Chain A
Amino acid sequence: MNPGRKIIEVNNLVKHYEAIHAVSGLSFFVHEGEIFGLLGPNGAGKTTTLEIIETLREKTSGEILVDGLSVDKDQNAIKQIIGVQLQAAGYYPSLTLLELLRLFGGLYNVSVDPLQMLRQVGLEDRSKAKYKELSGGQKQRFSICTTLINQPKIVFLDEPTTGLDPQARRNLWELIRQIRDKGTTVVITTHYMDEAENLCDRVAIVEKGKIIALDTPDKLIDQLVAQGFERKREVKKANLEDVFLSLTGKEWRDE
């Protein structure tokens, strides 16, 4: 794919929590229109990095530009052009999906057609359900739905598929690709490598607050193979997930 212009630029980002160095000198950039993955084990600093870019957290030092806007000076302007999905829920549990979408319409000062929004994520038949009544996969799709309300240039998804079953994960990947195909840049964190390999155009691997590798999934794999890496066991043509999906069907269902 043709790399677009740099829509996010992170330069030497540092974040200390008292004695803990959560992020120690991260630098990377995200192209417009790509799905960019931040990979790494729990506690590597993925979420902290994401929340600093989202202007939810103060940084200790470093420079960040989001669509040319500085996180130090233009926080509100940045908030208007991004969509944010948090790792855990963030909605009034007893409100219906329609009511919540109207709320977020108001928060972004945009008039939305809530049903049309829900149709995009396949939840229009749940419009009158309360948020707390949704299944795990439905909650994640609704959460992504709210990030699209202001027609953002960039959406940030923090571990959107954690805890979902294989069908729901695949369904969510499809949704995320659709968002990218409409021209929206997607930044996603995950600790599932199959997810990154399937979904991301480029990935950065974060370890102890530092980036230790950054490239397309293909090139990273090629590099490893070129170093003479071999899997201990010959890979079969299918894996257990393929077995599971062929037995239970690929159709995503409402739990």
Chain B
Amino acid sequence: MPAEEMGKVTDRMRFVFAVSSLIFLAVLAISPFKDYRREWKQYKRSYLRFAQGRPDTKRLTADYSPDIDQIWLPGLNVVDRCTTCHLGITQASLADKSVPQPFRAHPPIPHNVREWGCTICHRRQGPATEVAEAHESTLAWEQPALPAHFIQASCGACHQSDLLQTPQLVKGRQVLAELNCVGCHKLQGIERPAMLGPDLSSIGTKVSREWIYKWLKEPRTIVDKDGNVTVNGVETEEEPRMPKFRLTEDELKALSGYLSVQRVKALVPYKISPAVVTAWSKNPELISQGELRFRQMFCSTCHSLAVTRAGETKLIGGDIGPELTKVGSKVNPDWLGAWLRDPESYLPHTRMPRYGWSDEDLYKVTQYITTKLFDSDLLSNVPKLDPPTDAEIQAGRRLFTEKGCASCHVIEGISPQKDFGPDLSALGGKNASELEFGTAKIPHNLLSYIQAKLQDPVSVNPAARMPQYNWEPGDLDAVTTALLSMKGAPPTSALQNLVVPRKEVSFHPTGSFAEVYERYKCYTCHKFNGFGGDLAPDLTYEGSRAHRQWLIEFLKNPQTLRPTLILRMPQLNMSDKDAATLADYLSMVMQHPSVNPAATDAKQFTPAMATLGKQLYEVKYQCQSCHTIGGSGGYVGPNLNNAGGWLTPAWIEAWLKNPQALVPDSIEPRRNFTDQEIQALTAYLMTLRAGSKPQKTANNFGSQNSAVGAGR
């Protein structure tokens, strides 16, 4: 290039410069354009357009900002940008299904979504700003969406005490406890009780080797290929507590041999007086009398039996104790007599009460059980088993710990392997990469893993020691929910303060009451200061509620106050002294702090008040819709035929003021009575007496479908 032309700008250079500038500008513009086209920005703009078309535009856009919204809760590890696109999440007017997603309002829940964020319940990826990345599981995040069906698991991560609003979670925790999962696994919030499976230290005195063999091979509860659960061939909805272990023939022989020689406590047969035996043994009424007694004592409150009605055989009765349809061909008759007289001496921590037995009753009932609850074919499929050899016993002893039997059952001299199963107390927070899926053809996520493992433990791990359980579909999902809720200790102290722990309660009375209370196992069904079962009424305030004399009569001859119940208080054949001990303690100690029966003077109630009360009861408030007096009225509340003989006036007054203050889950609605009306109603109820004995209620219901709600 000549020197004079240096520095001269030619047209050609201008053109090149212009084009490259344009290209440069275009390249520069890509970035803002891409930014403008970002997914979340498009949602933002489309929300604005959507809000314009709504009548309440102003309210819908009040909080609008064009940037990314973020909910940041450092103590909870929450960084949620979901509300960037889910803009209408707290707008009540956008609740309708016609509102397009992602703008629809969240259904009403007890927490404010803007305060808590979304991933704390729904999982998924909070910090993501792209639809796919937020909602799908990616390798980097590994927390897939929790399906709404299991959402209560998220409530349980913080609310470790049971909530009314989360029935599925509560059920799951109950099933985990009932099935003794803590025998092998560590579970958050479920403590190991004093007894899991029965103590087997003296099992050899109770059942034969053949029976043990059959039980181990096929626990009597069987699920067929259609998923129907049967106990002894009878259909049921109950889940067996004893699962099926996958045992070989040799293992079955060794374990049954080992168990059949366990006789730590020798059996001391009880000799029924020969006079009773001679008087009854030839009596044709013996068995039917025994059956009658069995029914009168209400054994069915805890034990179920197969009953055939209208061609359909069903198990009827409670599930606190074992099902008894074929128990006569299971247990040694001498053992049965000794057991019924004193269950605790064979099995410490049993929930079976010690009934008061006369020789006559004991003879009749044991004869009924061994004759009628009997099936000669029960052991017909079991091979002939000789007395066990030493080698079998040794092998059985080894298997007892190796198979995990010792984790639930006690045998003297055997200590269970520590941490037999994996610790599950933080299972709910695990990432898929921490789980072994083996060759299982299931989606690789925690939920599928838990369900596959529960349904068939060997499907995800062929070497699994976990036995086979049978699940009702509802229970499977409930247990899955409970396991998903166990996310271990909260990550930070900030969250620790939010966790509501499970309440530990126990009630250990002392003195003569304690002895009677332990003997009759009152706590199997009743609650005392929060401790005990929930089959029957809570007795924490019984002293405020019932007259002492009524308690004594009731304990000696329990009658149901609720016509719809089929599970009833057993007839324990209590002595006068025992009944008085219990009634004294209940009326002196188990009182509501503000309901003192001694403080209300019954003389203040005049006949005029009672007349007014009767009118209020029948006309103004129509209490007969739920309560029975005489022969008419409803079945929802207890019958009030003997209200005056049963309830103290102080309790009636307090109850009418606010039933839920005395029994929090009572369904009796709290009314707006005036003080005068309360006095009148109390006066009327006090006039209702049924003589010295509580009136037996006519059981109007032939059908006995279910016993849920017993004692309520």
- Do A and B come from the same complex? no
